[in-house]
Every structure is written in C-alpha cells, then in structure tokens.
Structure 1
Amino acid sequence: MEPPPGLRRQGENTVCRLNKSLYALKQASRNWFSTFSDTIQKAGYQQSKADYSLFTKAQGTSFTAVLIYVDDILLTGNDLQEMEHLKTFLLKRFRIKDLGDLKYFLGIEFSRSKKGIFMSQRKYALDILQDSGLLGARPYNFPMEQNLKLTPTDGALLHDPTKYRRLVGRLIYLTVTRPDIAYSIRTLSEFMHQPRKPHWDTALRILKYVKGTPGQDWGGCRATRRSVTGYCVFLGNALISWKSKKQTNVSRSSAEAEYRAMANTCLELTWLRYILQGLKVLQTVPVPLFCDNQAALYNAANPVFHEHTKHSEIDCHIVREKLQARMISPSYVPTRFQLADVFTKALGKDQFVTLRDKLGLHDIHSPT
C-alpha cells in the first residue's frame, strides 16, 4: 500500500500499522469472520463443531440456525420472534440489509412448492451457454457417450487451453446443484494441464446436455487404472450430498474398489450425522448403505475375511467399525438399480435418464 499524502517517509524500512482491517486484504475475511463469530455467540448461539460457518440456538421447542458465507447470511428457524430479535441484534452491530425470503444465494436460485424447496442454477447455466455461443445448439439427452475413453495423449492440443480451463471451472460450480453431470465434469477436470480437442468436444457436449435441462467402475481410468468413488446420500426423499472422485490408490479388485468407496461414504455419513445433530435431527436407527458388490459387503461384515483384505489400508476398515457401532446397515442392491453409478461411469441414455430421475432432479421451468 502507499502511505497517505503528507506522510514523510523515515526510510525504506518504514511501514504503516493498520488499526482496522481493510477490505480485500488477505486477513480481512478471517478478521470479519472472527468478529461475526464472537458477536453472534454473545447472542446465545453455538458454533457447530462440524461446520464452523453454522451457528444454532435451541431453547425448549424454539430453534434457530444461522449460516454464513463471507458476508452472505442465511437465517432460518421455527421461532419468528427469535429471528426478529437476532436481526435487530445484528443491525445494532453491523451494517446489514434484510433481503427477505430466500430466493437467490451464491448464484443458486431457490424455489418453493408443495413438494418442498428446489435449488437450481438456471441463470448461471444459461450464462455459460450464452458465453459459449450454444444457446441455439441442439440439446443432448445425456452428457457423455457410454463407451467414451478420454486420455491425456489422444487428439491435438488446444491452441488456447485457457478457454477449456475457464469452461470446466464454471461447470465445476454448476455441479453444486447438478449431480447428473458430476462424473463427466470430474473426468474433464483431469486434463486441465494439457487439454486436447476430444476433451473440448466432450465439454461442449455436456453444455448441450445442460441446454436441454438448464433449470463404480473398477479400473475405469485408462491412464492410471484407478477406480472412481461415487456415492449419494438422501435425507428422506431429498438428495443432500454426492461425490464423484478418483481414488488415490489402484485397487486390486472390484471388491476392494467398492470397499474403499464404502469407507468414503461412511466418513461423509459421520460428518452429516454431526451436522444433523446440531440441527436437532437425531438418527435413532442405522443408516441404510446400499452396495452392488457382494464381496465388498462380506468384507465389511466379516472381520476374519483376512486373505482378501490384508492389503487394504487400515482406514478402509472404518466400514466395519461403523457397522459394529450400528451406525450403518449395509445391504445389496442390483447394479441396474445402483444410483451411485451416475457418479462412477458414463451410462447409456436409458439407464442414465432412469437413474437421474430417481435422484430427484426436476426442471421446474419445463411445461407441465
């Protein structure tokens, strides 16, 4: 920063001491969050240990929750009087503005109906299509060809790789509300360093799929032979969490790959359990965990199944620990009904559309 006018420098080593945090400095967001956290806790709110951005207050049947992202705040609860009291409390300490009912947050649109609350990024998706010049393109029914195998070496290098990186980066944020493209975008994100024409063509196909709906495969990677972990978590009929991520190690069998995926799912379930406890949603029964590999289920249930699991990392056996603690209840599901396949492989049109619909995705802007 430059010294203010009129300040005479005392030498090259002279610095200015800030008595107040300034916007856009590296420490500004940390200082703001620390100030907000201290203030809201003085109002009787408790900070969640599972998510430090979540604050809750429970008194008898009254419950209020506050979620903060930088300077954007969400407030909800079942006690309107307490919510008004908190807004008054914050107004006395910060310069904030009440925007009313939740409609738009971090680029995500929220709509309400008798079936519940719907999240979408329709405007964000249309902006991407417009910037890419594909608003008039013919839409596709599914995002990626079933037998498509993308590699780091096939095809000509793009003359301008920045356009690919920018597009994939924007599509990554679109997966916040679009689990149906999570696997495809995860695949494309592997080629950011040297994108080639097949990668670009696939990205454009995904965009054409998005235009039509704007509102675990062992050893599946030809380059690394690492499997893809995919899972989805429902709270009632609502999809609340999902993941598509390449595993860090090469699995020796499909059973081991599935077992690793079950372990990652257990970690997510453990975190979600803590979040739900803070929101006063208690889990009194084991969580059903569906897997389409019988051998992986045997590994989880049988602690002496040594020959097939002695090479697995210790952290994978968290599945057994959660099973013995009655936190999960593993069950077999046929592959054709496994919803997680949307996150682990490219599917044919019919199977993709069937599983996508079962995930609970709806286009609220489509005619009925």
Structure 2
Amino acid sequence: MEGIMKLFKKALVLSTVAAMIFGLSAITASAETKPTLTIDGTPLTIAADLGAPFIDAANRTQAPIRAVSEGLGAQIAWDQATQTATINGSIKVTVGSSQISTAYGTITMDTTAVNKDGRIYVPIRYVANALGYDIEGKNENGAITANVIKKVDLTISAAASLKEALDEAKALYNAEKPNATLTISYGGSGALQQQIEQGAPVDLFISAAQSNMNALKEKGLLADSTIKNMLQNKLVLIVPADSKANLTSITDVTKADVKKLALGEPTTVPAGKYATQVYTYYNLIDSLKEKIVYAKDVREVLTWVESGNADAGLVYSTDAKVGGDKIKIVATAAEGSHDPIMYPAAVIKASKHAVAAQDFLNFLTTDTAKAIFVKYGFSVM
C-alpha cells in the first residue's frame, strides 16, 4: 500500500542470542508532529491527563508509558526512586537509559525514555517489540500513525516428535496472546528443511537435528542471532506390546524374531539418521538391509510398531511415551553410538513476523514451557 513505510531503519541490537528484533525505516517528522497510535488499526484512546504522543529529537515516536502498556493489556509498576517502569514484571525501562531490560536479553535503543512535564514517555517501537509485538508506520500527507500489530499469523515448522508437547505449549501461549494464530506443520526435519530452502513461508523452525539447522544457516536462511539449542532426547528400541520376541538389546534386531525393522528415512528423518549411526557403530547396517523398512517420519515408525506392521523400530524415548501401552521399550541406544540428539530452533530470516516468532521462541524457553517438555520426556537445555 502506498505511503506505508517502516518506522525505523536501524536494526535493534540485543546483547543476548535469546532475543532479536528487526528495525523499521524512520518516518521523517518535525517535533511538532502529533502522531496517532493504533492497535491493529483501532485508535488508542489516551486520557488527557496521561499526556500526548510526540516525535522526539531522534525522530522516534514517544508515547505515555501507562497508556501504551495498558492499551496492550500489560501491567505496569513505577519506581519513583529509580525512575524505572516495570512492565509485566520483567520488562524494565528507566528514564534516560537507552536500554530496555527483558527476561530474554537487553534491547539497545537509539533514543531513551524521557520525563516530560512530569509524565513518563517511552519509544513505542521498542516497548511494543519487548512485549512481542511488531509495529508499522504510515505517513499520509504529514499525518503519522504508529500501528501496533497484535493480530499475527505465525507458521512454524517443527519435528514430528514435538507434536504433543508443542501443541500444549501453543495453547498456553495463546492464553496469553490470543490474537496470535499459530499454525504448526509437523514432519521429518529434513523434509521441513527442504521446504524452507524452496521458499515455504515459514517463520520459525524447530529441528530434531543440528545438521538440518546448520544447512539452513550455511545458506543464509536463518536469523543467526536467534539460533538456540532447546531440548535433548534419547533413542530407544520398541516392539509391539504383545510381542513375544526375545529382545533385550539394540543389537538383538538381528534375531529371526525380527522380520521388519522400522527406521526413519535417514536422509530426511533425524531419528532415522541416528538409528543408522547406531547400527553402523555396531557394524550391523549391511546385515540388516533386508529387514529395514523406512518411514517418512518418526511417528510413522511408531504407528507401524503399534499396529504390528513392523516387529521392532527405533524412535525417540518421547515418542515411546506417546505410544503408551501399545508398545514396550526393550533397549536404549548407548549415547556414544550416535550423535547427540538435540533440538535447535531459529527464526527464519525471510519471516514477515520476526518479532512475533521470536516472542513465541522466547516463550518456549520459560519455566512454564520447559515443564511441558519435561512432562513429555524431553531434557531441557
């Protein structure tokens, strides 16, 4: 749409890898310009006694901190002695400081919060970002509008083994941010990687292997400062609950009782890659070729074993937990027999909703989200 420009040109710099916020181009305005604030296009009503938004010397939109915070559904506390406002218990803004402290890192601004006429004003762009919201600016014939975007559609690609835990975390996040619509596509990490390489509109990627994340990083497709290792897992051998096969170790799949051994496709499914490493480690991969049947993702391996279509299979311990009483675990792969099983996550560089994607990723590192992952058998990092 003509006239729509980004508010600030300079990218924000975060002191920790846990937070990354993109800047927007500044809208040129005079100090006398009185910007209008909107939230998802609806004007924000600001009581006269709270003050009025203005453009500061750095050409940034300053707004009354209480009006902005409460307008975004946040709680605010003010410490007169330190001249510090605390938003939602963890976001701290101090008058005269160019930094905003958050639970996930420090946001460095190119301006500061100010005390004007006894009222506290903050750069709305940075405070909105700290709360997990992006902002866009519009200049129509000199009339400036700063619009905070709460309604956002996020697309997330995640390893199939994360489904139950991530669905539960998503529900809790939506309880806090009901205007965020999260669409999660689950599958083999390799297949998801390929989709991103081919230009799929993905905002956040959570892989079950470092190799898939590294491949995207090498191609310059990730916002590198957002990459973080989140979780760990284990690889286990499972059989149907009613199996009579006498299996007690990972290598017992060579026995005649096992006619079909289900593994993930090693080129696209990390669990399959790890399984192949295990049987290569024990020099068994060649002798097992006639038994192996490959699945499109680790959940398909689980389904085949549950139904008896495979006599045994290698899955993550978290998948085995999902299988419940339909399967039983007979052995766990030795850690030295395969690469460490880690789940890295990162915001995609081409994301149009990088701030919201980072906000959800930050949420996944909170104690609340970590408890969910632990419940489903993951180890948190």
Q: TM-score range by the shorter chain?
A: under 0.3
Query: TM-score scaled by structure 1?
Result: 0.26
Q: By percentage of residues, which structure has more strand?
A: 2
Larger relative contact order (Cα-Cα within 8 Å, sequence gap ≥ 6): 2
